[in-house]
Amino acid sequence: MRLRGERRSRDVVRDTAEVEETAGLAVLARLGLGAAHTMNNAFTTILGEVSLLKEHRKDDPLVSDACAVLLGEIERCTRLTRSFQARRQPSQSGSTDVDLVRVVCELGPLLDETLGRHHRLEVRAPDDFLPVAADARRIELLVLCLVQYAADHSGGGSRVVLAVEEEPVEEAVALRLFVTSDDLPEYAVSAFLDPEQAPDGTTRACLEAVASVVSDCGGSRAAAATAPDGWAALIHLPRSA
């Protein structure tokens, strides 16, 4: 009987790892497509401005404006590329103290650039160090999956707010998500709380990854529709001593 129990335990661990690997690959693919789309738009802008330079004299005041646009787009592409390359090699695995503020603030710019023009990500975080006892790689996966799911269940021109807060009474760190949505927010909430209701395997894997990371950290999840149009999610993670 002991051998059977050990075999079942190993199966559970393997299934969890497979779910998180699937979710991670799905998110990276989404980020890669978003990054490519962003850079394509940026370089299209650059080419347009170069054509403008050719049509005007060097002393034309438009030249300086065009150069400013060029520099801004190039800087944006460089920043985005470096951020994406950094995510190709996630933080080292292993249970340790992970500063949730740092993780969210570092992922914020990458996510904001790759969510598309119809979404705007706003990150709210204190200057404090808010550590949670978890694997850094899994916390990054949690944040990536959470924001991508929010973007998939929000309306056009919507705002996604991701906030990190300390809750001293509960000795926990709260990860709050606020989403404006015109696309059945009640459905977004029900699928978030029960991944089996997700519309496809990729979304289900992402939501299952969120649930498994939170559960393994000893945390909790909650979600609800908000008035007039939107939904919110709350994740509590125990704070490290």
- 206 contacts 192 by C-beta, under 8 angstroms: no
Q: What is the pTM of this model?
A: 0.70
Choosing from 70, 87, 104, the residue where a domain stops is: 87
145 and 65 co-located in one domain: no
Which run of H or of E encompasses 201? Answer: helix 201-216
201 and 102 co-located in one domain: yes
173 and 198 co-located in one domain: yes
104 and 140 co-located in one domain: yes
- 209 contacts 143 by C-beta, under 8 angstroms: no
Q: What is the tens place of the pLDDT at every residue in 12-49? A: 555 777 788 778 877 877 787 777 778 777 877 887 78
CA separation for the pair 62, 45 (Å, rounded): 15
Domain total in the chain: 2
Choosing from 22, 52, 87, the residue where a domain stops is: 87
Q: What is the tens place of the pLDDT at every residue in 97-152? A: 889 999 998 888 888 877 776 778 889 999 889 999 888 888 988 999 999 888 88
148 and 180 co-located in one domain: yes
Choosing from 62, 87, 112, the residue where a domain stops is: 87
pLDDT at 109: 81
pLDDT at 137: 84
- Measured distance between the N- and C-terminal CA atoms of the chain, rounded to whole angstroms: 38
- In which domain, by residue range, is 134 found? 95-238
192 and 103 co-located in one domain: yes
Q: What is the mean pLDDT of residues 56-83?
A: 76
139 and 72 co-located in one domain: no
156 and 230 co-located in one domain: yes
Mean pLDDT across the chain: 80
CA separation for the pair 70, 47 (Å, rounded): 9
- 125 contacts 107 by C-beta, under 8 angstroms: no
